[in-house]
């Protein structure tokens, strides 16, 4: 796994986050647990902080995207 620091890592994490949100939206639309497990697995391979991101996003899907982004960034900053 690559170190989580610097602008490149920040872009990588942002991209992974955007993909994760898209997968959550598809999972919700399809309502399929099998798809949800695939989404969880994909994110686990894409980003080093997957457990933290997954926990934040799984806890409450009803939050607005802006609020989720703010919460994600704050949690990421605390973890570095």
Long-range pairs for 9-17 at CB < 8 Å and ≥24 separation? 12/47, 13/47, 13/49, 13/76, 16/43, 16/46, 16/47, 16/50, 16/53, 17/47, 17/53, 17/69, 17/72
Q: Taking 70 as the threshold, does the pLDDT of residue 76 lie above it?
A: yes
pLDDT value of residue 1: 44
How would residue 10 be classed by pLDDT, with cut points 50, 70 and 90? Answer: low
User: 54 and 40 in contact (C-beta within 8 Å)?
Assistant: yes
| pLDDT tens digits along 21-72 | 777 776 666 655 555 566 566 655 655 555 666 666 666 555 566 677 777 7
């Amino acid at each position: 796994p690559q170190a989580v620091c610097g602008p490149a890592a920040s872009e990588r994490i942002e991209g992974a986050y955007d993909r994760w949100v898209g997968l959550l939206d598809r999972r919700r639309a399809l309502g399929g647990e099998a798809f949800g497990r695939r989404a969880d697995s994909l994110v686990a391979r894409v980003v080093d902080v997957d457990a933290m991101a997954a926990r934040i996003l799984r806890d409450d899907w009803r939050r607005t995207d802006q609020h989720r982004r703010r919460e994600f960034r704050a949690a990421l900053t605390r973890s570095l």
